[in-house]
């Protein structure tokens, strides 16, 4: 796969009614040694805990079997043999869609009973050749699985969802038989035409919000929409901490200045150093948006300037608990997390000079050295969000 491009993978969800647990489960896995990304969306029958358990089992099996390069027949048959079958409807208790993308940009889709996967090349729909695989075996004989494969091109999008999207609004005057596949296609096409570079995150959110609206903001089923977007990477550089050797101040400031992408400075001393090297002026703000952190500052050439280690420590905690239902605030750490989530490649340039203010024994024990905090953030971004992270220490 061309390293210039990036694969954004996002799933947004809304739970059925007031349920605390979603009956749809979405898992992703990046297999670094093979340069593969696998994404699975499973819809457990019904909703709540039982549906979630069945969908979790399905997604886990699908991920593991796909990672092992099992055949379509083997993956589908193993999942169906493992799951129970509804004795009345004679249906498996879970449906699934699997997307497997390899290092050469080859995409394989395996789909069972979920709404049909949609493909966009730019703002235009395209339809790859689908194959129908008829399964054999006593428990699942005659059941059909759809599969297709094609090579990704820049600005390609893949969209797959659960029944909660296409069946939203069912029984209403506007959508007596549900929102449907055709309306979903129109919604996606309009959104992409209106904003050609709309992120996977925003596109999936538009689908979820519309389905939620169709159901009168009280979903009658679990709602999930996954979007895969192959595009130019969005880059962010976070500069924090002055170098141990002041002779490296100009080098660090130069790296930040030449960087092509969004830029954030975390640390007042770091901000002063960069401003001095760039010949710029920092404008402070007195607006408190987080009672635990000082207000942000601003300077031409960077998006914002925040306090240092305290802010980064909170960034780390926010990233750990963040999920599709979590709403970020307007505090300094929230703004950094938002910028991180909107970016694909995050570059940290970190000075490791010790701030004497942080040697105060009355400060909380979780206030750690900058290097440790940055390493923790990088690990979370890699493992949980599949971001590409680079670190350089001075």
What's the first-to-final CA gap in the chain, in angstroms? Answer: 32
Q: Please tell me the predicted confidence (pLDDT) of residue 151.
A: 94
Assess contact for 226 and 157: CB atoms under 8 A.
no
DSSP 103-163: TTSEEEEEEESSSPPEEEETTEE--PPPEEEE--STTTTT-EEEEEEEE--TTEEEEEE-H
* Tokens 């091109």 found at: 153
Among 77-81, 114-118, 137-141, 374-378, the range scoring the smallest mean pLDDT is 137-141
pTM as predicted: 0.79
Name which residue leads in pLDDT, 217 or 85. Answer: 217
Domains, in order of start, for the chain = 6-231 (3.60.40.10), 235-393 (no CATH)
pLDDT digit string, tens, across residues 112-142: 999 999 999 999 999 999 999 998 876 677 8
Q: What is residue 317's predicted lDDT score, i.e. its pLDDT?
A: 96
Reported as a single tens digit per residue, the pLDDT across 242-300 is 998 999 999 999 999 999 999 999 999 999 999 999 999 999 998 999 999 999 999 99
């Amino acid at each position: 796969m061309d390293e210039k491009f990036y694969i954004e993978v996002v799933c947004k969800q809304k739970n059925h009614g007031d349920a605390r647990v979603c009956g749809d489960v979405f898992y992703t896995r990046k297999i670094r040694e093979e340069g593969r990304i696998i994404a699975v969306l499973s819809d457990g029958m019904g909703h709540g805990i039982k549906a979630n358990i069945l969908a979790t089992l399905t997604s886990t099996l699908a991920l593991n079997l796909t990672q092992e390069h099992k055949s379509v027949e083997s993956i589908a048959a193993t999942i169906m043999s493992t799951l129970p079958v509804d004795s009345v409807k004679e249906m498996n208790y879970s449906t699934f869609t699997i997307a497997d993308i390899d290092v050469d940009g080859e995409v394989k889709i395996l789909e069972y009973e979920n709404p049909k996967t949609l493909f966009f090349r730019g703002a235009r729909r395209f339809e790859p050749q689908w194959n129908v695989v008829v399964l054999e075996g006593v428990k699942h004989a005659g059941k059909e699985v759809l599969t297709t494969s094609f090579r990704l091109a820049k600005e390609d999008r893949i969209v797959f969802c659960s029944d909660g999207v296409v069946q939203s609004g069912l029984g209403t005057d506007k959508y007596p038989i549900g929102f449907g596949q055709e309306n979903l296609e129109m919604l996606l096409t309009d959104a992409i035409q209106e904003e050609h570079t709309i992120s996977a995150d925003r596109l999936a959110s538009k689908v979820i919000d519309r389905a939620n609206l169709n159901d009168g903001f009280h979903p009658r089923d679990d709602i999930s929409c996954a979007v895969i977007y192959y595009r130019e990477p969005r880059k962010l550089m976070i500069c924090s901490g002055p170098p141990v050797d002041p002779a490296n101040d100009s080098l660090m400031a130069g790296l930040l200045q030449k960087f092509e992408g969004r830029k954030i400075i975390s640390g007042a001393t770091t901000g002063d150093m960069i401003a001095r090297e760039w010949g710029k002026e920092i404008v402070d703000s007195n607006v408190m948006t987080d009672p635990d952190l000082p207000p942000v500052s601003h300077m031409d050439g960077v998006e914002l300037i925040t306090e240092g280690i305290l802010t980064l420590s909170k960034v780390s905690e926010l990233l750990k608990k963040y999920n599709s239902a979590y709403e970020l605030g307007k505090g300094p750490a929230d703004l950094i997390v938002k910028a991180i989530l909107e970016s694909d490649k995050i570059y940290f340039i970190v000075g490791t000079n010790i701030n004497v203010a942080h040697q105060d024994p009355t400060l909380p024990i979780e206030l750690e050295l900058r290097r440790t905090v940055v390493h923790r953030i990088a690990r979370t971004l890699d493992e949980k969000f599949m971001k590409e992270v680079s670190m350089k220490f001075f």
